[in-house]
Chains A and B, each alone.
Chain A
Amino acid sequence: MALFTFVFAVVSPAFGCPLCFGSTPYELGLYWSVLFLLPVPFVIVGVLIAWIRRQSDGNIKEG
């Protein structure tokens, strides 16, 4: 019970990315840049896989 009280009442909330949850313009800038960068690798790899599949399908049809 004491531990529960300590964790949820005494200790202030800890965020994984404290800067991202701020409200100053600089923190918002970081927030948006993180949000922008997060999906980029997935988009690039996704487009690459889709493109390779399209190319190989075309090769099979031609061949």
Chain B
Amino acid sequence: MTAAPADSIASDRPAPLVSKVGMALFIGTEAMFFAGLISAYLVFRVGNPNWPPAGQPRLPVESTAFNTLILLLSAAFCHRAVSTLRAGLARSSAYWLGLTAVFGLFFLVLQGREWIRLVQFGLTLTSSVYGGLFYTLIGVHGLHVLAGTALVLYVLKRSVEGRYSAAYPLGVELARMYWNFVVALWPGLYFLVYLL
């Protein structure tokens, strides 16, 4: 059995621009999905002068602001993972990817903790339109963070296996594109749901 020549391995790899355009289109559909959810939220938010409705708990603004910072930091780490990989520092890139995943998980844990407290205070999916909208909008974003963290961990595993290099950083770049989208969405959602 002979080893496959290097040229054939290279040709098996997906073309970077095509893959990135595919990811960009996917992110475009995701943005449209979130725009629909935000639009639904606006109907009820603007339509109810008393918001949050009487008897419903107030949302944890300060702790979520800290959580926002965590998510923004994770995006900076992900950016660093790509820049170090492009500079030829694959091990350093894996380290930054790991840090991105840890901060993503940290965000999810803090969000989960706040949700448990809100449920204890009586805010559930069926308690009111307020609860339904909150858990749908923030929950769907949380699912995206979970998916993004899983993607970063998958890319980290492949990075440790030595599948990415300065000449071929595609997987890490795609993960960064998705992660940037998920992170960029959050400050807008935070402002809309927690501050407005």
Contact = CB atoms under 8 A, between A and B. Distances in A.
Contact of A32 (B20, B25, B42, B49): B42
B46 A25 contact: yes
Which 10 pairs of residues, A with B, have the shortest CB-CB distance?
Answer: A29-B47, A29-B46, A26-B47, A33-B39, A33-B42, A29-B43, A40-B35, A33-B43, A25-B47, A37-B39
Given A40-B31, A48-B28, A55-B17, 8 more contacts: A25-B48, A28-B47, A29-B47, A30-B43, A31-B46, A32-B43, A32-B46, A44-B32
A62 B129 CA distance: 53
Interface of A: 25-34, 36-37, 40-41, 44-45, 48, 51-52, 55-56, 59
Interface of B: 17, 20-21, 24-25, 28, 31-32, 35-36, 38-40, 42-49
A37 B120 CA distance: 35
Interface of A is mostly: helix
**Interface core residue of B44, B45, B47 (most chain A CB under 10 Å):** B47
A44 B21 contact: no
Contacts of B44: 29
Contact of B40 (A31, A33, A44, A51): A33
A50 B25 CA distance: 13
Contacts of A26: 43, 47
A51 B21 CA distance: 9
Contact of B32 (A29, A34, A40, A59): A40
A52 to B, nearest CB: 6
Contacts of B43: 26, 29-30, 32-33
B28 A44 contact: yes
Contact of B35 (A28, A37, A45): A37
Nearest to B39: A33
A52 B24 contact: yes
A48 B42 contact: no
A56 B24 CA distance: 14
